[in-house]
Amino acid sequence: MQASILTSMDSKRLLKTFLDLVQIPSESGKEKPVTDYLVAKLKSLGLEVWVDDAGSKIGSNSGNIMGRLKGSLPGSIAFSSHQDTVVPGIGIKPQIADGIIRSDGTTILGADDKAGLACILEMFECIKDKPHPTIEVVFDICEEVGLRGAAQFDTSKLESKYSIILDVDGAPGRINIAAPYQDVCKIAIKGKPSHAGIAPDKGISAIEVASKAIASMKLGKIDDETTSNVGIISGGKATNIVPEECRIEMEARSRDEAKLNAQTKHMLDRFEEEAKKAGAAIEVSKERVFMGYKFSETDPLPSLVAQAAKDVGLKPQFVRSGGGSVSNIFNAKGLASVVVGVGFENPHSKDEFLRISDLEASANWVIRMVELVK
């Protein structure tokens, strides 16, 4: 094992980088200002840098960044954080009090995911002049609107076989080693309109069909690995018309693909059965939004990440998540990937905050991960 490089971490520099990043607007689809900053920064740190054309395909003014710092030591590792933020993310004014960073209350803070970006940049600052393995980065766009940038990224361009995504809320030390598959379904039911007061029996209520189907479904938490939800319902034109149409959008998730297939089929079958009983027509579309993944705690990648956490005084916490992330996309593309916590709390809200101590701990964690690569 090489000598530790943790002493190189500069807390003031790390904090300044984070504060600079959050003040650069980069709402989803409008990432170019932060892309320009990151490209310039990575080049100044000695990386080869590329920006792909993903933005032209998904409606962004920028692209995914890929960078590579060739190493003098064996091995390689990739890190990733996303460039974009949710709204409202323009005009962020970070405030620091009692060791905690918040916005001024009119915007998000943007620590999701600029805490991750700052930690990765600080890692490069620390190792650029020291022996190190090859280190690669992917900074994706449009993560907050469906992982769309990562979906466009060509992982075959990476030399690394392992990647670590810095993009989980909560204290550093959290390691997501499993995440679900997800299906999203859209259903359109077409009944028959009639006057609701004069001839209700001559109509077929699309809303009633949907209601009966939904009422008969297993929804919510199905088991420890599986959930489902009917999220959107719309239909009808007036109170005096038996509704001809009803549209429903719903999802199911499971960390077990067979369980997901069964749950999705169950939900769609209920709509088909109720439509048939009522004599209504039905149209169904189903999309596998992302694939799931599972690691054991003793697999090489989780083991490295957990050992690095222990080495810098963090307690590793292995988590099996119910949400999706860039790790789902990368694992599906054949790039082994876990997602780790970087300390931000209350993301996607004006109450978002980040403890400076957690930012520093996360940066040390990333540096130690690099040290352990063989």
Question: How do residues 217-236 score in pLDDT, each as one tens digit?
Answer: 999 999 999 999 999 999 99
Confirm or reject CATH 3.40.50.720 for domain 6-179+292-372, answering yes or no.
no
Q: State the catalytic residues.
A: 84, 143
Q: What is the pLDDT of residues 253-262, one digit of tens each?
A: 999 999 999 9
pLDDT of 155-177, one tens digit each?
999 999 999 999 999 999 999 99
Pairing relationship of beta strands 181-190 and 281-290 according to DSSP bridges: antiparallel
| Averaged pLDDT for residues 121-140 | 96
Which of these, 208, 270, 196, lies nearest to 245 by C-alpha position?
Answer: 208
Give me the mean pLDDT over the 20-42 stretch.
99
The structural domains of the chain, with segments of one domain joined by +, span 6-179+292-372, 181-290
Give the pLDDT of residue 280.
Answer: 98
Give the global pTM: 0.91
* pLDDT at 8 exceeding the cut of 80: no
Query: Does residue 3 have a pLDDT over 60?
Result: no
Determine the pLDDT at residue 7. 66
Checking DSSP bridges between strand 181-190 and strand 76-82, what pairing results, if any?
unpaired
Give the chain as a 3 state SS string: CCCCCHHHCCHHHHHHHHHHHHCCCCECCCCHHHHHHHHHHHHHCCCEEEECCHHHHHCCCCCCEEEEECCCCCCEEEEEEECCECCCCCCCCCEEECCEEECCCCCCCCHHHHHHHHHHHHHHHHHCCCCCCEEEEEEECCHHHCCHHHHHCCHHHCCCCEEEEEEECCCCCEEEEEECEEEEEEEEEECECCECCCCHHHCECHHHHHHHHHHCCCCEEEECCEEEEEEEEEECCCCCECCCEEEEEEEEEECCHHHHHHHHHHHHHHHHHHHHHHCCEEEEEEEEEECCEECCCCCHHHHHHHHHHHHCCCCCEEEECCCCCHHHHHHHCCCEEEEEECCCECCCCCCCEEEHHHHHHHHHHHHHHHHHCC
Give the sheet arrangement for strand 181-190, strand by strand.
220-223, 226-235, 245-254, 181-190, 281-290
Say which CATH class 181-290 falls into: alpha beta
**Torsion from C-alpha of 322, 323, 327, 328, nearest 10 degrees:** 80
- 277 phi and psi angles, rounded to 5 deg: -60, -40
Please give the distance of CA 36 from its chain centroid, rounded to a whole number.
22
Same fold, 6-179+292-372 and 181-290: no
Report whether pLDDT(55) > 90: yes
As given in the structure block, the two tokens for residue 34 are 């932060």
How many percent of the chain have pLDDT more than 90? Answer: 97
Across residues 228-254, what is the average pLDDT? 98
pLDDT value of position 1: 42
pLDDT at 2 over 90: no
Residue 5's Cα: distance from chain center in Å? Answer: 30
Mean pLDDT of the chain: 97
pLDDT at 367: 97
User: Residue 5 — pLDDT band, cuts 50, 70, 90?
Assistant: low
pLDDT at 21 over 80: yes
Q: For the chain, give the percent of residues with pLDDT over 70.
A: 98
79-88 mean pLDDT? 98
**What is the reported pLDDT for 201?**
96
